[in-house]
Copies of this chain bind each other. A is one copy, B any other.
Amino acid sequence: MLENGLKRITSIKEIAKLAGYSIATVSYTLNDKGRIRAEVRQKILDICQKHGYMPNSAGRNLRRKRNETIGLMFYPSSAAIFRNVYYAQIMEALEFELEHAGYDLLLSGHDSSLEHSVSPRFLRQGKVDGIILLGRFPRKRVIALKDYGVPIIQLDGFREFLNVDYVTSDGYSATEQIVDHLVKLEHRRIVFVAYNHEDTNANQREAGFLAAVGKHNLSNSECRNIRDIGNSVEAYELIKYLLESESPPTAIIAVNDTLAVELVQLLQDDGYSVPADVSVFGYNDDADSQKSNPQISTVRIDKTKLAQIGAKMIIDRIENSEITHQKASLLAELIHRDSVAVAKS
């Protein structure tokens, strides 16, 4: 029941009957199409309003062959995403953009990391017009998903040569900038640390690191790229070994702020001082990099922009499948805070 005690009307047919016009006229009015007399239009609108009429999306979607819905998938799983502060801002902006463009966002509780996992329900049921892949989806999964024929894009992750649109951040140039900056502060023994899982963003950052090491003629044996650690404790064990060696590193570049924050904690627990003994750089400008003591120097990725571009990409792809392959790599900005200082001599 509505406020005015009237029964809620759920179909265009009833509205048409009440107004004394055809369902076509009602439909045109509701969609601002065709040329309906202003007077008729107003009458119909009034009736809809009065009876709390809401168009039925199943009816419209069946006819239009659209869902006005975009599916969101996470890798490795949605559990991982919700716990990850990095994604909060992205989700937020994504929702905003999509809602304004007339799309709803459908979530998948699907665990994409399971080897034999079937595809998410919403895909099997054809409930979405497009899919946004958030995270470091493996190539194989992207291909499998692409084969459904539903438009997909990758957000904050990418796979080349798949003709799948993507938007990510330019970790290569970001790392070059970090090394440039560290070298200016007289660092010559720098370590890059990332997790052992496959991650194209981490690869880019590593590649930028290696290129910068070459560019500045830093010693290959003194600059390490550690890529086989499973967690911060493992990372710290290796770093500790290096710190106790004859030519200890003076700076550490951690693949993200979470790792950076944890390393700083472990270093401090062990009696090292940051940045006096060793400088630490992170990536992402997550909230915890600022809460850490000292505050961590990091790379700011404009997450809102990332989401905006992603939203635009998937919508473009849905509404115009002819457009050519799109990819974007956002330039990142260095944020200088207190975890970096001139190299210990």
Contact = CB atoms under 8 A, between A and B. Distances in A.
A153 to B, nearest CB: 18
Interface in A41-85: 52, 54-59, 61-62, 67-69, 72, 78-79, 82-83, 85
A310 to B, nearest CB: 14
A109 B127 contact: no
Interface string A268-292: 0000000000000000000100000
Q: How many chain copies does the complex carry?
A: 2
A71 to B, nearest CB: 9
Interface residues of A, number: 52
Given A62-B56, A88-B83, A105 B104 contact: no
Contacts of A2: 147
A115 interface: no
Interface stretch (A95-103, A167-175, A188-196, A242-250): A95-103
Given A8-B149, A147-B2, A54 B126 contact: yes
Nearest to A55: B125
Given A58-B61, A125-B57, A104 B107 contact: yes
A145 interface: no
A149 B2 CA distance: 9
A104 B92 contact: no
Interface in A124-176: 124-127, 147-149
A3 interface: yes
B57 A127 contact: yes
Given A58-B62, A99-B121, 8 more contacts: A2-B147, A55-B126, A56-B62, A82-B87, A95-B108, A98-B109, A104-B121, A104-B122
20 contacts: A56-B126, A57-B125, A57-B127, A58-B61, A69-B106, A78-B92, A78-B95, A79-B88, A82-B82, A82-B88, A82-B92, A92-B109, A95-B107, A95-B108, A95-B109, A99-B120, A104-B121, A105-B107, A105-B109, A106-B106
